[in-house]
Every structure is written in structure tokens, then in C-alpha cells.
Amino acid sequence: MSFFRRDRRVPGRVTAQEAAARTGQGKAAEGGADAVLLDVREPHEWQAGHAPRAVHLPLSALAAGAGLPAGAQAGPVVVICRSGNRSRRAADLLAARGTEAVDVIGGMRDWAAAGLPVVDSRGGNGTVA
């Protein structure tokens, strides 16, 4: 069963564990990935720590009209930020543009607390900034 809603204009919300499973991240990656994890935090936050294989596009750029990066255009998008506030706004923007999107409740804080992988811009152990 999909956690993406039938009405793409109303994005759903998922836990960090559900997001990890749908994007093929960490121990929760059972059954393969069918969505892309889109991180909408600012560049300094992204560089400090993000999920491996996530795609980056700051909310500020998305709100200014930027399109999705190539790696996030092919299918459903799971949007994440630090705590879940910016990702909710980003999911709303994407849904209004016709993209199938959900946001992660608790953001990268909950992601890291769940023991899911976080890497920095050099591929080492990252932190949530």
C-alpha cells in the first residue's frame, strides 16, 4: 500500500523509518526504493550532514521557482528538512505543481535519532545542523 495520497494536491506525512524504507536508506530498506529523498535545508545544513543518496534543493530556491534536480524528477518525492516545518511547505509547493510528494515528520532530527545514516559533504559521519 502506498503512503502517497491519491490526491497529489494534499501531501501526506511519513515517519523517518517509513521515509527510509521508501527511499532505500539504512536498515529500513526492505523491498527496494521507489521514491527519492529530497533535502530542502540550506547548504550549510546539507554539508554538515544529510542522508546518503539524498538530493539537495533548498526550500528558498524551490519557493523562488526552481525546478526539481534531475535525480528527483522521475517519481515520488519524500521531502526532509531539519524538523519537518520546511519540508511540509516544500511538499505543499511540489504537490501544487503536480509532483507526488510527502514530508518527513520530525525531519533529520528524527532520522538521526532512529539510527539512520547521516553523512557530511565529504562522505564521513555527519551531524544534523
* pLDDT, tens only, 15-58: 999 999 999 986 655 556 789 999 999 999 999 999 999 999 99
pLDDT tens per residue, range 63-86: 999 999 988 988 899 999 999 999
Nine-digit cell at 100? Answer: 507526488
Domain boundaries, the chain: 12-113
Burial of 29 (0-12, 13-18, 19+ CB in 10 A): middle
121-to-68, 73, 76, 113, 127 alpha-carbon distances in Å: 20, 22, 25, 20, 11
Q: Is the pLDDT of residue 113 over 80?
A: yes
Within its chain, how far is the Cα of 96 from the centroid?
A: 17
Tell me whether residue 14 is one of the annotated catalytic residues.
no
As a whole number of angstroms, the distance between CA 84 and CA 119 comes to 19
61-to-4, 42, 64, 74, 87 alpha-carbon distances in Å: 24, 9, 5, 20, 13
The predicted structure's pLDDT at residue 79: 98
Assigned superfamily of 12-113 = Rhodanese-like domain (3.40.250.10)
The pTM for the full model equals 0.89
Q: Is the pLDDT of residue 5 over 80?
A: no
Strand pairing report for 36-39 and 55-56:
parallel
Q: How confident is the model at residue 1 (pLDDT cuts 50, 70, 90)?
A: very low
Residue from 81, 91, 104, 118 carrying the catalytic annotation: 81
Nine-digit cell at 77? Answer: 518525492
